Amino acid sequence: MTWLVAALEWQSRAVVARHLSVYMRNWYTAFLPPAFEPVTMLLAFGVGLGGYVATLTWQGRPVEYMSYVAPGLLAYATFMTAIFQSLFAAFIRMRYQRTWEGQLTTQVALPHVVWGEVLWAGLLSTMYVVIVSAVLTGLHAAGFLHIKVVLLPVLLPVVFVAACGFAALGLCFTAIVPTIDHMNLPVFLLVLPMGLLSSTYFPLEHPVLVALNVVNPLHHLAQAFRGILLGGPIAGPLTGVLILSALLLGILVPLDLRLLRRRVLGD
Amino acid sequence: MSVLLDARNLVKHLGGRRVVDGVDLACESSQIVGLLGPNGAGKTTTLRMLYGFLHPDEGRIQVNGVELGRDLVRAKRSIGVCTQDDTFDGDFTVEQNLTIAATYFRPRPTDLARRVGELLDRFELGPYAGQKPETLSGGYRRRLMIARALVHRPRLLFLDEPTTGLDPQARMGVWDLVDGLRAEGLGIILTTHYMDEAERLSDALTVLAHGRVVARGTAKTVLGDLVGEHVVVVEAGQGAAVAAWLTAQGRGEPASVLGAWHVPVSGEELAEFARAFPALRYEVRGPTLDDLFMKLSLTP
């Protein structure tokens, strides 16, 4: 279980601190996507699609479409931030910038590099969700949607855990794809289907999709956020998020390490 | 002088092949050990085991008295590594590269700002402190790589082909810096393909071929053992008689460079050669590490 202990060691924190330092230097460019993405999405889905679907039924009660979409947007931001950070940014650091190799010549070992990437993706997703939450709070204040904004901070620990799980999934592909062009495969075959068919932007009632979503942590995340922000069942979806995230971390981090040991160290 | 590196009987298999086969290596303070060998000899794998990238399948490594396999983190505190390829952090400036590297060590280097300033001065990187590393010339990139490897004040430094691709002036600049580090008491393990570099800088050489140590000692000893006392250079075009003589001596075809054969011989063999070919035009010179490399490359 040394791979697990590495998550708590100072070297992993040093790697996270390095990534945070880079992010903070470019904060103005890093801040814009999470600030504008929800506005764009709410315009597209909320105002655009919502014009046709003013309300829909969720948990047996009518919900404004804009209010339905808002928690989904937070879940989607969690997922996409973590996945893209662990797919593209981590791949660039590993392959092109050779940042990992530089770190590995120090007291940092491969488990710390991997946990550093996972924890950084968790932290970045949490920061993104904070920014998206601020935008949603503004839209709530302006009367465009109605959610329990006071409970938004409650989501943050869940965002962090779920994002770490998603990052472990992303790193698997980082470990095996030969070039950055091959990232299209996981993006189109896994990330987009997983992202869009997960009740983030619209409810899914087809029995096949419902069955598939039992193992989709993003679906449980969106439902848990909806339960918290709109008032609905929380325990079931939250348990789903925590169990699936723990499984992703428990199974995929050791696998990531095994695959990356071969790829990065040649061992 | 204290022993900074003591590696015994290192064995490593990669892809089902025994890439390193029972290598011993030692380095003391104020000593530069050159690790040589042709491509595929096992140099890089040996080096990667020594600085903790790879775990040896067999054998043990002690760095500054600490067993690498038992306490990797503590052992790595004494090690500085300058890899063959540039692995500086492209997201940071030259100065920030030194600072960020220090965060990967515990205990943290004391008085870090002063240490970074010292390194910038010593490696003449001061004027470029605020620039990104990719804007530097090849020579200054190498300087940054070595400076970064020293930020935590290690006792043992690994330099993996530190001057590959540099112009002669930049190479000599790096040699001066390396020589200065030795004078300060650092133990240095150096790999290089430049034979003049190995001869000039190394106090001792370890030569690898097919994963094994085939010679060790000073350059002179290694060359005497593996190459011979002299090298006869003769045009290959004149060679039928020479080829017959070599065959009679039980030798295969010698290394050929630009149409000339380079035949390593002992003193006695040289006298015999002179007797056998009184009218032949040839040159006799001392052996170099280039001869050693060519010989090892030709040895199956």
**C-alpha A8 chain-centroid distance:** 21
Contact B85 A101 (CB under 8 A): yes
Q: Give the pLDDT mean for A55-67.
A: 90
DSSP state of B281: -
Give me the number of domains chain A comprises.
1
Q: A99 and B90 in contact (C-beta within 8 Å)?
A: yes
**Inter-chain residue contact B14 with A266, CB threshold 8 Å:** yes
Q: Quick check: A48 pLDDT over 70?
A: yes
Chain A residue with CA closest to B73: the answer is A107
Distance between A21 CA and the closest CA of chain B, angstroms: 9
Question: What is the domain class of B3-220 according to CATH?
Answer: alpha beta
Nearest-CA distance B52 → chain A (Å): 8
Predicted structure pTM score:
0.91
Question: Which residue(s) pair with B26 in the sheet?
Answer: B6
Going by C-alpha positions, the residue among A152, A31, A140, A129 that lies closest to residue A74 is A129
**Token digits of residue B291:** 């001869």
User: Would you state the pLDDT for residue A99?
Assistant: 96
C-beta atoms of B90 and A97 within 8 A: yes
Say if residues B264 and B291 touch (Cβ distance below 8 Å).
yes
Please tell me whether residue A145 adopts helix, strand or coil conformation.
coil
Residue A5: its pLDDT value, please? 96
Chain B residues touching A109 at Cβ < 8 A: 52, 72-73
The pLDDT score that the predictor gives to residue B238 is 72
Q: What is the pLDDT of residues A127-148, one digit of tens each?
A: 999 999 998 999 999 998 899 9
**Chain center to CA of B39:** 12
Q: Are B174 and B163 in contact (CB under 8 A)?
A: yes
- Chain A residues whose C-beta is within 8 A of a chain B C-beta are 10-11, 14, 17-18, 21-22, 25, 97-99, 101-109, 265-267
- Residue B108 is given by DSSP the state P
Closest residue, chain B, to A19 (C-alpha): B91
Q: Is the pLDDT of residue A156 over 90?
A: yes
Q: Does B104 touch chain A (CB under 8 A)?
A: yes
Single-letter amino acid, residue A100: W
Domain interval for residue A200: 2-265
What is the nearest CA distance from B2 to chain A, expressed in angstroms?
Answer: 23
Tens of pLDDT, residue by residue over B161-180, are: 999 888 899 899 999 999 99
Quick check: A98 and B87 CB within 8 A?
yes
The model's pLDDT over B18-64, given as tens digits with 9 standing for 90+, comes to 999 999 999 999 999 999 988 889 999 999 999 999 999 999 999 99
Other beta carbons within 10 angstroms of residue B110's beta carbon come to 8
B193 DSSP 8-state letter? S
Chain B positions touching A24 (Cβ under 8 A) are none
Residues 226-285 of B with CB under 8 A from A: none
SS3 category, A64: strand
Kindly give, in sequence order, each residue whose CB lies less than 8 Å from that of residue B144, ignoring residues fewer than 6 positions away.
Answer: B88, B94, B97, B123, B125, B133, B136
Share of chain A above pLDDT 70, in %: 100
Identify all chain B residues contacting A103, using CB atoms and an 8 Å cutoff.
104
DSSP string, B34-52: EEE--TTSSHHHHHHHHTT
- CB under 8 Å to B112, separation ≥6 — which residues? B99, B102
Cβ of residue B145 closer than 8 Å to a chain A Cβ: no
**Chain A interface mutation, best of B19, B87, B144, B159, highest count of A Cβ atoms under 10 Å:** B87
Domain assignments of chain B as residue spans, ordered by start = 3-220, 227-298
Cα(B56)–Cα(B13) distance, rounded to whole angstroms?
8
Token couple for B169: 């002036």
Maximal CA-CA distance, chain A: 58
Among candidates A246, A106, A96, A113, which has minimal Cα distance to A171? Answer: A113
Query: What pLDDT was estimated at residue B112?
Result: 96
**Longest Cα separation, chain B:** 71
Cα distance between residue A199 and residue A218, in whole Å: 8
- Using alpha carbons, select from A59, A205, A19 the residue that is nearest to residue B92: A19
A247-260: pLDDT as tens digits? 999 999 999 999 99
CA-CA distance, A99 to A108, in Å (whole number)? 12
Read off the DSSP letter of residue A45. I
- Show residues of chain A in contact with B86, CB under 8 Å: 98
The reported pLDDT for the residue numbered B300 is 65
pLDDT computed for residue B133 by the predictor? 97
In A, minimum Cα distance to B15 occurs at: A267
| Residue among A17, A109, A266 whose CB faces B103 most closely | A17
Alpha-carbon gap, residue B274 to B254, rounded angstroms? 17
The mean pLDDT of A85-96, rounded to a whole number, is 96
Q: Identify the pLDDT of residue A108.
A: 97
Taking CB atoms and an 8 Å cutoff, what residues of chain B touch A116?
none
B16 touches A229 (CB < 8 A): no
- The reported pLDDT for the residue numbered B38 is 84
Task: Please list the alpha-helical segments (H only) found in A92-191.
Answer: 99-104, 110-141, 155-176, 184-186
- Cα separation values, A127 from A74, A120, A156, Å: 11, 10, 9
Mean pLDDT calculated for residue range A197-209: 89
- Euclidean distance between CA atoms B112 and A189, whole angstroms: 48
CB–CB of A97 and B105 under 8 A?
no
pLDDT tens sequence for chain B (300 residues): 799 999 999 999 998 999 999 999 999 999 999 999 888 899 999 999 999 999 999 999 999 999 999 999 999 999 999 999 999 999 999 999 999 999 999 999 999 999 999 999 999 999 999 999 999 999 999 999 999 999 999 999 999 999 988 889 989 999 999 999 999 999 999 998 887 888 889 999 999 999 999 989 988 888 877 788 888 898 877 767 888 888 888 887 777 888 888 888 888 889 999 998 988 889 998 888 788 877 777 666
Q: Which long-range contacts (CB under 8 A, 24 or more apart) does B215-222 make?
A: B215/B292, B219/B289, B222/B289, B222/B292
Q: Which of B167, B101, B179 is nearest to B140 (CA)?
A: B167
* Whole-number average pLDDT of chain A: 93
pLDDT of residue A77: 93
Give the DSSP letter string of A174-216. Answer: HHH-SSGGGGHHHIIIIIHHHHHSSSSSS----HHHHHHGGG-
pLDDT of residue B40: 86
B204 neighbors B33 (Cβ within 8 angstroms)? yes
On chain B, the residues whose CB falls within 8 A of the CB of A21 are 100
The answer to whether B90 contacts chain A (CB < 8 Å) is yes
Residue A241 half-sphere exposure toward CB, CA atoms < 13 A? 27
- The minimal CB distance from A101 to the residues B54, B73, B83 is found for B83
**pLDDT beyond 70 at A227:** yes
Q: Which residues of A touch B72 (CB under 8 A)?
A: 109
Written as one letter, the residue type at B279 is A
Q: Which residues on adjacent β-strands are paired with residue B157?
A: B80, B188
pLDDT at A195: 92
> How far apart are the C-alpha atoms of A157 and A160, rounded to whole Å?
5
> Can you read off the two tokens belonging to residue A57?
């039924």
Strand partners, A63: A56
